[in-house]
Amino acid sequence: MKRSEITFDMESVPSSIKPYLKGATIYDSSCSETAKTLLVSGAERAFLKISQRGTLEREYRMTEFLHKHRIAPKAIAYESDIENDYLLLEAVNGEDGTAEMHLDNPSQLACVFGEYLNMLHSLPIEGCPYNDRTKEMLHDAAAREIDLRELNESGYSAVDNVIIHGDYCLPNIIMDRFMFRGFIDLGSGGIGDRHYDLYWGLWTLQYNLKTDKYGPMFLDAYGRNHIDEDGLHYFTRLVQMTD
């Protein structure tokens, strides 16, 4: 991940976050036009996310929920001011799935990527702060006046019955030599249909490895007995219609 050292005004953040920035070196590691992500390298390493007010609450709550299951970082602080949300997260040791050492071993990467998704989907759903992710997606699409009749005619009924990441792409999993360390960027998660994550898992492998050769390995490692081809087609079309 590209990072550049910057000068940062500590007075611009809420008082509860300032102590973590004192004496720290700050790096900009943003990869989004809508949110700023800063690496705070001080007595402790952490990531500070800054985004429009109201946009980071979901990530905060999902991170807290999955941290209890020991598969996400600790949320150190979450605050808002008039304009922005501020989310301070502990830095997970390791590298994301797009690190060179991971991409240089594509077969192993595809297999563990499938295994770790199965682990996520096997968690108990009790206590998850967000339900009905498919319903949310369809509601958002309808609000944009997207014609979803093709989905209704597909014959597949989405089932929101597992914890999904919501953006299951290689940059959002942290590993240390392929050993799982944590999921990050959980702002689209909740109880949803497994095939949504499976779609994005296939997409990111093809995008980052420049081939669809490793998709079958990913699905095999996840477990073919859990996969409905109609479900994959349903969410492929939903993403195509809404992106």
- Catalytically active residues, by annotation: 167
List Cα–Cα distances, 96 to 155, 183, 203, 213, 220, in angstroms: 37, 9, 16, 21, 22
Helices (H) and strands (E) in the chain, counts: 9, 11
Cα torsion at 234, 225, 161, 137 (round to 10°)? -20
CA atoms within 13 A on the CB side of 97: 27
- If you ran DSSP here, which 8-state letter would residue 145 be given? T
Q: Rg of the chain's alpha carbons, rounded to an integer?
A: 19
